[in-house]
Homo-oligomer: A and B are copies of this chain.
């Protein structure tokens, strides 16, 4: 029997707490260290899910009871923390994105490539059972060659204006998940076209961001990906995919919060709203993502997305930003 993987967690915000709970619940891992400059948060997570709290992330890297690191701190810290993990030979799972600046990503890239230390990126949706099922069935040829992939991805509500100010824009903070999902099916994207507008969100307008966007990606195979985004959605978190091929199509529906439907004189078969947001909708995905990282950290097989996937998603986001701004299709080379 293998000993539990001892994981050090850096960052105890909303997503850090999800990871902490999943580590505690996993039969294959324990939480050994919890770091957050906001020490009170670290202490609270450690009390609930195990491990020793610290305000200093360096304590995690210096500890002798850390087999792997999970980075859930703010984006600007990611590159440095990944580098420290790689330098120390500690497998790392880092939340997306690697950084908002592709130059910093490119600067770190050679070290990651040569170090041989597992670096996984937190694109949780790859681990959603429904998306994974569709990908597997597409790979099995059930719908013939994949010709069109349509991703509808709408958040329930626009983020606060001060988040918009530093998020890097809709393509880098929100669509980046969809870019990775596109590449989950079609890794070799060669061209990006995007259109963005601002129709309802004052925060987006203030900071020059879009609240509404559509991106099309051309894959080397000729397949076209369409990503439809909105910063709000009255029905709840709207997360749908349609994979279309010559022999048919596979669709992932939204998950209703209930199996109940109601019929009345006004309307029939009306169902309950969809799951609120990502913590609910992707709860299973976060747990599966952790298990995949545990396997990766131990040198086993893994479906985790990689540093290269994180870089590719950012390149696509940059290209989309340029396309939407300049009105040109932007060729990309993800090689």
Q: Digitize A245-267: 1 where CB-to-B-CB distance is under 8 Å, 0 elsewhere.
A: 01111111111101111111111
* Among listed A31-39, A77-85, A94-102, A210-218, interface-contacting one: A210-218
Residue from the list B232, B234, B244 in contact with A230, Cβ < 8 A: B244
Least Cβ–Cβ distance between A47 and chain B, in angstroms: 13
Report the stretch among A12-20, A106-114, A192-200 that lies at the interface: A192-200
- For residue A160, CB closer than 8 A to chain B, the reply is no
Kindly state the interface size class of chain A when it binds its partner.
35 or more
The reply to whether B264 and A234 contact each other, CB–CB distance below 8 Å, is yes
Distance in angstroms between the alpha carbons of A267 and B272 in the assembled complex: 5
Proximity string of chain A (141-184) to chain B, C-beta cutoff 8 Å, 1 when within and 0 when not:
01111011010101000000000000000000000000000000
Task: Report A252 CB to chain B, min CB distance, Å.
Answer: 5
A120-139 vs B, CB cutoff 8 Å, 1 = contact: the mask equals 00000000011001100100
Residues of the B chain whose Cβ atoms lie less than 8 Å from the Cβ of A252:
259-260
Which residue from B134, B145, B273 sits with its C-beta under 8 Å from A268? B273
Q: Does A269 sit within 8 A of B, measured CB to CB? A: yes
A226 within 8 A of B: yes
Distance from A280 Cβ to chain B, minimum over Cβ atoms (Å): 14
Q: Indicate if A332 sits at the interface (CB-CB under 8 A).
A: no
Interface assignment of A191: CB less than 8 Å from any CB of chain B: yes
Q: How far is it, in angstroms, between the C-alpha of A271 and the C-alpha of B263 when the chains are bound?
A: 9
Contact across chains for B254 and A147 when beta carbons are under 8 A apart: no
Contact B269–A269 (Cβ < 8 Å): yes
Q: From residue A186, how far is it (CB to closest CB) to chain B in Å?
A: 12
A312 CA to B159 CA in the complex, in Å?
A: 37
- Asked if A223 lies at the interface with its beta carbon under 8 angstroms from chain B, I say yes
Q: Which residues on B sit within 8 Å (CB–CB) of A327?
A: 191, 193, 328-329
Residues of chain B within 8 A of A214, CB atoms compared: 148, 216, 224, 226
Contacts of A197 in B (CB 8 A): 218, 222-224
A249 to B191, CA, bound (A): 30
Smallest distance from the beta carbon of A208 to chain B beta carbons, Å? 14
On whether the beta carbons of B268 and A269 are closer than 8 Å, the reply is no
Q: How far is the CA of A132 from the CA of B226 in the complex (A)?
A: 26
Contact A248 B262 (CB under 8 A): yes
Docked pose: A259 CA to B212 CA in angstroms? 26
Is A270 positioned at the interface, with any CB of B under 8 Å from its CB?
A: yes
A301 within 8 A of B: no
Give the distance in Å from the alpha carbon of A150 to the alpha carbon of B151 in the complex. Answer: 12
Most buried by B among A129, A150, A258, A329: A329
Interface check A235, CB cutoff 8 A? yes
B129, A258: Cβ atoms closer than 8 Å? yes
- Inter-chain CA distance A147–B196, complex, in Å, is 11
Q: What 14 new A-B contacts, CB under 8 Å, besides A235-B263, A327-B329, A328-B328?
A: A137-B262, A148-B214, A198-B222, A199-B222, A214-B224, A234-B264, A250-B261, A251-B260, A266-B273, A267-B272, A267-B273, A268-B270, A268-B273, A269-B271
